[in-house]
């Protein structure tokens, strides 16, 4: 009788607290990258389900893009993976400028 040792599938804890296997990861042709999907790919690489190179190839990512996902999920959790997150890091001065418009007030003598 032949045993199939490949039936044991590697799993890793995903961002929502459920176990993920390679089959649970986003499809290679994913177009809409919501924070949960990005975090699942980061968890898979961290947990050894995918190598960094495999993840980048599978999802057509640059190493820099993947590393930014990883860095943001480490720093900010799922919120760090939102597409609008970098705007939230602007300084208070920049926010004030953009909320008051860009028109200068000039006084004529």
* pLDDT tens readout for residues 87-104: 344 333 444 444 444 444
- CATH number of the domain bearing residue 72: 1.10.10.10
In terms of Cβ atoms closer than 10 Å to its own Cβ (0-12, 13-18, 19+), residue 81 is: buried
Host domain of residue 47 = 33-88
Q: Does residue 80 carry a pLDDT above 60?
A: yes
Does a structural domain hold residue 37? yes
| Distance from C-alpha of 91 to C-alpha of 96, rounded to nearest angstrom | 9
Which is more confident, 15 or 109? 15
Task: State the Cα–Cα distance between residues 41 and 26, nearest whole angstrom.
Answer: 8
Q: How far apart are CA 84 and CA 86, in angstroms?
A: 6
Q: Please report whether residue 102 resides in a domain.
A: no
Domain assignment present for residue 53? The answer is yes
Domain assignment present for residue 84? The answer is yes
Segment 65-76 mean pLDDT: 94
Higher-pLDDT residue of 8, 25: 25
pLDDT number for residue 77 = 87
pLDDT tens digits, one per residue of 10-49: 899 998 899 999 999 999 999 999 999 999 999 999 999 9
Domain count, the chain: 1
């Amino acid at each position: 009788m032949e045993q199939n040792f490949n039936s044991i599938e590697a799993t890793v804890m995903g961002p929502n607290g459920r176990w993920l296997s390679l089959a649970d990861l986003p499809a290679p042709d994913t177009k809409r990258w919501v924070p949960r999907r990005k975090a699942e790919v980061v968890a898979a690489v961290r947990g050894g389900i995918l190598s960094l190179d495999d993840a980048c190839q599978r999802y057509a990512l640059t190493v820099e893009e993947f590393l930014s996902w990883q860095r943001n999920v480490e720093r900010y959790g799922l919120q760090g993976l939102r597409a609008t997150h970098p705007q939230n890091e602007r300084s208070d001065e920049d926010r004030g400028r953009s909320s008051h418009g860009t028109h200068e007030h000039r006084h004529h003598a």
